[in-house]
Structure 1
Amino acid sequence: MNFLSVSLTDIGISRSVNQDSICTKVIQEDNKKASFSIVCDGMGGLSEGEVASLSVLNNFCRWADNILPVLIRNGIDFNELKEQWTKIILKQNQYLGEYGANKGIMLGTTLTALLINDGRYYGVHVGDSRIYEIKDGVHQLTRDHTLVERDIRLGNITEEQAKNDPRKNILLQCVGASPSIEPEFINGIAEENTVYMLCSDGFRHVISDEELYDNLNSNMLVNEHVMKERAKYLIELNKSRMEQDNISVILVKTI
């Protein structure tokens, strides 16, 4: 399996700092390839969100550079992968908590990462950044760790009511500002000619699933140049609709 991939981030129209950190890379080992992508969205309501997001991203990217090749060579075991990712997350949660305590501040970040290898995808998720699979439609693979999403699952509010709920951006957990963390893990079959999208919440607040599919379906994304142009178009569309947050997206197409 081969991959096309692009990543774009934009400070947006109102923020003085871009607190999003993103990365996508292809790792090759013994003629086998894996795609690894990560989006971390530093908490805008807290201090130094960009420090938190970059710290978590850097630790996962070091893992991808140094440990992932061994997993590719030996074959990925999901339980082993979950253990390794959980260890990174818990260490970062402790580190950022101590960093904040020493400086008298609170800081935190979302974390959403996706690994694709040998016909399967594996993801880890904390917060409200998202992973989507775009194939015959737009399918959200992660659940937001927010008060509003919890109320939807409990039947307290409808999805329509949630769109205008003032609590929709309140997180139940993030890396760095939570006393304990329960990462969400996902895995499934990754078919060829499928698009995977990772994004911060700023990318998808004012964009519909129909607009995502029309611009990002696999038939549309024939090469990385087109992928970048379509992503740029959607970022500018977000800004024209007065999205206030930083805006970040990663696109990975399996071929």
Structure 2
Amino acid sequence: MPEMPEVETVRRTLRPLVVGKTIDHVDIWYDKVITGDPETFKRELKGKTFTAVDRYAKFLLFRLGDLTVVSHLRMEGKYHLTTWDAPVDKHEHLQFAFTDGSSLRYADVRKFGRLQLVETGTEFQVTGLKNLGVEANSPEFSLDYFEKGLKKRSMNIKSLLMSQTLVAGLGNIYVDEVLWQSRINPLTPANELTKDQVKCLHSAINETIEEATKYGGTTVHSFLNAEGESGHYQEKLKVYGKEGQPCPRCGEDFVKIKISGRGTTYCLHCQKR
């Protein structure tokens, strides 16, 4: 699943491709990609102009004046620019057809991604954004906020970070990475972390998100930005996807377990409970 660095990379590459373009019409080839009524989606967007492409955590927000399209890529969602009349691939589910003859298409092999049309300003009340904590690497994600939030939660730290409810934007890749960097066992209850561990984890989260974004995100399976390019942070990964390989810090082989149904790779020696 694209995480915050990948979605930010998509946003940055989408912005010059679509901002200022006016929608002639919308074609929907798979109705379930829309949260809400597909016909209303098409009708309301006709004639609207893209004014900005924003992001919150793993969600894209296409701004069209008084309306906003909130897009969650989920596992495999991708956007790319083409033309109205280009052949439709079986994995393409929607296109914004622009008045200049170009079109922005949404493709999704797994069909898990969703787009929702809302009134601008209501996105944090009526979409999945309402359930999220503050963004990683943001002014709101202060050390004090993080410490207080952790003290109130007894679930293991891996599951808490994956839940998005305290801090939003990290997924399986970056959670494994920041826990390894902080020498924290993923099964440790959040409210049992020491002050030093919390401080280290807070810094690791911010620094990792910033660095991964600088490298255009991580392409492990199929992530591509809006220009069809892969990310490069996979070359920097220390633990994710490296089960059975030696830990670069101590030489102990990494192990992989499941936590809340998600594969979790860590070092038994460096990340003791």
Band of TM-score, shorter chain? under 0.3
Decide which structure has greater helix share: 1
Q: Report which structure shows greater RCO (CA 8 Å, sep ≥6).
A: 1
Structure (1 or 2) with the larger CA radius of gyration:
2
Give the TM-score of the pair, scaled to structure 1: 0.27
